[in-house]
Amino acid sequence: MAGQKLKTRKSIAKRIRITGTGKVLHVKGSRSHKRSIKAKRTLRLLGDLHEYTPTLSRQVRRMAPYKKR
Protein backbone atom coordinates (compact mmCIF):
# COMPACT_ATOMS: atom_id res chain seq x y z
CA MET A 1 0.00 0.00 0.00
CA ALA A 2 1.40 3.35 -1.06
CA GLY A 3 2.05 6.17 1.41
CA GLN A 4 0.07 9.35 1.32
CA LYS A 5 0.98 12.18 -1.00
CA LEU A 6 2.49 15.35 0.45
CA LYS A 7 0.63 18.60 0.07
CA THR A 8 2.38 21.49 -1.67
CA ARG A 9 2.26 24.87 0.04
CA LYS A 10 1.06 26.99 -2.85
CA SER A 11 2.28 30.28 -1.38
CA ILE A 12 5.86 28.93 -1.30
CA ALA A 13 5.60 27.23 -4.69
CA LYS A 14 4.67 30.54 -6.34
CA ARG A 15 7.56 32.44 -4.74
CA ILE A 16 10.49 30.14 -5.48
CA ARG A 17 12.32 28.85 -8.50
CA ILE A 18 14.53 25.76 -8.54
CA THR A 19 17.46 25.74 -10.95
CA GLY A 20 18.70 22.76 -12.91
CA THR A 21 21.50 22.24 -10.40
CA GLY A 22 19.03 22.26 -7.49
CA LYS A 23 19.54 25.75 -6.05
CA VAL A 24 16.43 27.35 -4.56
CA LEU A 25 16.04 30.98 -5.66
CA HIS A 26 13.65 33.69 -4.50
CA VAL A 27 13.03 37.42 -4.94
CA LYS A 28 13.36 39.65 -1.88
CA GLY A 29 10.38 41.65 -0.63
CA SER A 30 9.93 45.38 0.06
CA ARG A 31 9.78 46.24 -3.62
CA SER A 32 6.25 47.46 -4.13
CA HIS A 33 5.51 49.81 -1.23
CA LYS A 34 7.07 53.30 -0.98
CA ARG A 35 9.36 52.84 -3.96
CA SER A 36 10.06 56.55 -4.38
CA ILE A 37 11.79 56.72 -0.99
CA LYS A 38 14.13 53.81 -1.68
CA ALA A 39 17.43 54.22 -3.51
CA LYS A 40 17.57 53.09 -7.13
CA ARG A 41 20.43 50.75 -6.28
CA THR A 42 18.36 49.12 -3.54
CA LEU A 43 15.42 48.57 -5.88
CA ARG A 44 17.75 47.06 -8.48
CA LEU A 45 19.26 44.66 -5.95
CA LEU A 46 15.84 43.68 -4.59
CA GLY A 47 14.77 42.65 -8.09
CA ASP A 48 17.49 40.04 -8.48
CA LEU A 49 17.06 36.38 -7.68
CA HIS A 50 18.77 35.38 -4.44
CA GLU A 51 19.73 31.93 -3.25
CA TYR A 52 18.41 30.52 0.02
CA THR A 53 20.85 29.23 2.63
CA PRO A 54 21.24 25.42 2.70
CA THR A 55 19.09 25.15 5.84
CA LEU A 56 16.25 27.20 4.38
CA SER A 57 16.56 25.34 1.07
CA ARG A 58 15.81 22.05 2.81
CA GLN A 59 12.79 23.54 4.55
CA VAL A 60 11.45 25.05 1.35
CA ARG A 61 11.88 21.78 -0.54
CA ARG A 62 9.76 20.02 2.07
CA MET A 63 7.03 22.63 1.60
CA ALA A 64 7.06 22.24 -2.20
CA PRO A 65 8.05 18.60 -2.75
CA TYR A 66 6.88 18.29 -6.37
CA LYS A 67 8.29 21.60 -7.66
CA LYS A 68 10.11 20.85 -10.90
CA ARG A 69 13.59 22.02 -11.77
**Could you tell me which residues are beta bridge partners of residue 24?**
18
Residue 3 covered by a domain: no
Summarize the confidence of residues 33-50 as an average pLDDT: 89
Distance from C-alpha of 3 to C-alpha of 24, rounded to nearest angstrom: 26
CATH number (domain holding residue 44): 4.10.410.60
Percentage of residues in the chain having pLDDT higher than 70: 97
Using 50, 70 and 90 to split pLDDT, how confident is the model at 3? confident
The H-or-E segment that residue 50 falls in is strand 49-51
Residue 17 covered by a domain: yes
Residue 16 covered by a domain: yes
Distance from C-alpha of 51 to C-alpha of 16, rounded to nearest angstrom: 10
Give the domain extent around 28.
10-63
Residue 41 pLDDT: 92
Split into its structural domains, the chain has a count of 1
Residue 1 pLDDT: 61
**Strand 24-27 relative to strand 16-18, pairing:** antiparallel
Please state the φ and ψ torsions of residue 16, each to the nearest 5 degrees: -115, 165
